[in-house]
Structure 1
Amino acid sequence: MSRDWRSHEERSTPLMLQVIVWLATRLRRSLVRPLLYPIVAYFFLTSPISRAASAGYLRRVFSRQPQWRDHWRHFFAFASCTLDRIFMLTERFHDLDIEVHRSVEVQALVARQPGCLLFVAHFGLAETLRVMGTTQRGLPLSILLDREHGRMLTQLLEQLNPTLAQNVIDASKRGPQLVLALKEALQSGRMIGIMADRALLTDRAVTVDFLGAPARVPVGPWQLAGVLQVPVILGFGCYLGGNRYSVHLELFSESIHLPRERREAAIAEWAQRYARRLEHYARLAPYNWFNFYDYWLAEQNAESDRADDAAAHQ
């Protein structure tokens, strides 16, 4: 089995994040943006694992061998969203051009039942959903986040937006305690944001077809949705370049039903439907995919085989 995605991400991302946070909290966006070029160049040249993950993804989404320009645009989109995340969290988003696309179903749903689940992914900038979909429209948001596994994001929230940090629901809670916390938030009319695209090695996961190959996604979001029986909305904050973002909110389902006699099969079906929507937005805004690790099972198995071969020859 491949090494955990955290072992890749936690080595390179924090330093980039710390540099960008330091700059963004002291300078205007127009002054910080040009500084992204040397920052991205450094991490582009010194992060072979991330480059390999980028290549694997870009080959699938473009159905061709990616050029160096594709890799650069991919890395630069990630750095741009990292920068704008700081401005979003500190409520300094007035220099950003954000266009919101909400389906009629979502507008009607929120009007009659604001308490719902908002499934998001490591794609684009999720903070645009909070600002345009919640802060400016009076819809409070809570975030389901494992404080231990998500230390980097937790620390960032506490540093830049303590109010939002107070609305984090700790996913390390288990069983009835977690469900109770979620129900209380929903009953108070809050949306609950849940990352639905990334599974830890220790997580229960289901295999879906994503961009033509098998990948693991967590079953936890679907289990929670099945228990809570509230609507599920999908949210994607697509970065379009420059200062432009396109926010998409769509109703995924009024409720998630998991019949006891075919529970596992039902979870797999819902997860595959989600993977299809994630694939749609990946093709719509291809440089917004920010899972810089071996996401697909074939690549994970290949890495595991290489590690086994290396160990056998030691």
Structure 2
Amino acid sequence: MARTPEAPPAAPADWTRTRERSNRGTLRLMAWIAVHAGRPVARLLLWPITAYFLLFPGAAGRHSRRYLGRALGRPPSIRDGWRHVFTFAATVLDRVYFLRDMRGCFDVRITGGEHLSAVLAQGRGAILVGGHVGSFEALSAQGRQLARENVAMAMYPDNARLINETLEAIAPGFSMRIIALGQRSAMLSIRDWLDAGGVVGLLADRRLPGAEDRTDTLWIPFLGREAPFSLGPWRLAQLLRRPVVFMAGLYNGGRRYELRLEPLADFSEAPADAAGRERALHDAARAYAARLESICRTSPYNWFNFHDFWHEEEAGGPGLRADDRSAGLGAGAPGTDGPAGADQVR
């Protein structure tokens, strides 16, 4: 059953209020260097950028250490923190090349592309569900080929605005089909896009603040601690009676990316009874959390949620549990900024 914790934290600082340290001018400069100086030269910039965000981590550094401690099963070292931030910065740089269709720079391997092809062959479209894992741009670039360019992203208006600003800064002329959620016409737009054989992508590892007022939240064991997952994506797939495919674009260092596509759930035939439908929603959410947790265990530096994912911090300061403090996860300078625009451009 969906539930709320017995003693929920009081108004945790949410990711939507996080002010980012990047801006369009910085992104344009980074894009210019990436295109005109080339990737090897541009990657040299990642070293001072990573060092800066390790020296002045803000709250994002605290959240990174807490996550890494759980994913790695041990207190994270400075090297672990470096790899986490450097991996994120590398994917930020590489998005310039993917969005400008310069995919020849990379060695991209696809696992499970046949699953998406099989779903699309039915002519009813598909819902792709992923998270803030690795490079969405690498996944999107290859996905446009697999889905014959018929890819749209469903996201909330504020995120859509930030995505459009980012695209304008680093890849002028590139357009992404975005369906704004939270509007009455959103479900009809998604249905029409799917009916035309298209693909709709969703990132399901975040909830909007107060989302429990609009949709159910399921608390699921995740990396050893219960975390809140929204049932919204699964309810949408169930209402539209569509199959769901899990997606992830992992950065494996250097020029190497691995794109994973796996069947996750199929809501084509919904159970007749309400209890069965609710059980199907919960099963899909748990399957998603299990896939995400597996990636966090095997590719821990690829998950880029630099915020209070477990909702453990009260408004006004850290509310770390004893095991977090003993693992050395509470150190770090106070602040609210995420590394290199972690949420602005993802």
Q: State whether TM-score is above 0.5.
A: yes
SS at match of 2:193: helix
Identity %: 32
SS at match of 2:207: coil
Q: 1:195 corresponds to which residue? A: 203
Q: 2:20 corresponds to which residue? A: 11
Partner AA of 1:277 in structure 2: R
Q: Give me the whole-angstrom Cα distance separating, in 1, the residues matched to 2:204 and 2:226.
A: 16
The total of aligned residue pairs comes to 302
Query: Does 2:126 correspond to 1:126?
Result: no
Query: Does 2:178 correspond to 1:164?
Result: no
Query: Does 2:313 correspond to 1:300?
Result: yes
Pick the aligned partner of 2:296 from 282, 299, 302.
282
Q: 1:59 corresponds to which residue? A: 69
Deviations 1:103-143 (A, max 9, x none): 64433223333610010100101122222232366252111
Query: Kindly tell me: are residues 151 and 45 of structure 1, through their superposed partners in 2, closer, same or farther at Cα, counting changes over 3 Å?
Result: farther
Q: Shift of the alpha carbon at 1:255? A: 1.9
Check conservation: 1:89, 1:161, Cα contact below 8 A. no
Check conservation: 1:120, 1:193, Cα contact below 8 A. yes
Q: Give me the whole-angstrom Cα distance separating, in 2, the residues matched to 1:19 and 1:211.
A: 38
Output aligned runs, 1:139-150, within 5 Å.
139-150=149-160
Check conservation: 2:120, 2:197, Cα contact below 8 A. no
Check conservation: 1:147, 1:154, Cα contact below 8 A. no
Query: Kindly tell me: are residues 154 and 277 of structure 1, through their superposed partners in 2, closer, same or farther at Cα, counting changes over 3 Å?
Result: same
Query: Does 2:191 correspond to 1:178?
Result: no
Q: Which has the higher contact order (CA 8 A, sep 6+)?
A: 2
Unaligned runs of 5+ in 2: 1-10, 321-346
Query: Kindly tell me: are residues 227 and 197 of structure 1, through their superposed partners in 2, closer, same or farther at Cα, counting changes over 3 Å?
Result: same
Q: 1:245 corresponds to which residue? A: 257
Deviations 1:223-263 (A, max 9, x none): 21111111101101011011100100011122274752465
SS at match of 1:122: coil
Query: Does 2:89 correspond to 1:75?
Result: no
Query: Kindly tell me: are residues 109 and 19 of structure 1, through their superposed partners in 2, closer, same or farther at Cα, counting changes over 3 Å?
Result: same
SS at match of 2:158: coil
Q: Give me the whole-angstrom Cα distance separating, in 2, the residues matched to 1:133 and 1:149.
A: 21
Q: Give me the whole-angstrom Cα distance separating, in 1, the residues matched to 2:186 and 2:308.
A: 30
Q: 2:248 corresponds to which residue? A: 236
Q: 1:254 corresponds to which residue? A: 266
The alignment's C-alpha RMSD in Å is 2.5
SS at match of 2:20: helix
Q: Give me the whole-angstrom Cα distance separating, in 2, the residues matched to 1:114 and 1:133.
A: 16
Q: Give me the whole-angstrom Cα distance separating, in 2, the residues matched to 1:186 and 1:146.
A: 19
Query: Kindly tell me: are residues 304 and 202 of structure 1, through their superposed partners in 2, closer, same or farther at Cα, counting changes over 3 Å?
Result: farther
Query: Kindly tell me: are residues 56 and 273 of structure 1, through their superposed partners in 2, closer, same or farther at Cα, counting changes over 3 Å?
Result: same
Query: Kindly tell me: are residues 244 and 305 of structure 1, through their superposed partners in 2, closer, same or farther at Cα, counting changes over 3 Å?
Result: closer
Check conservation: 2:218, 2:229, Cα contact below 8 A. yes
Query: Does 2:151 correspond to 1:138?
Result: no
Check conservation: 1:139, 1:191, Cα contact below 8 A. no
Q: 1:227 corresponds to which residue? A: 239
Check conservation: 1:229, 1:255, Cα contact below 8 A. yes
Decide which structure has greater helix share.
Answer: 1
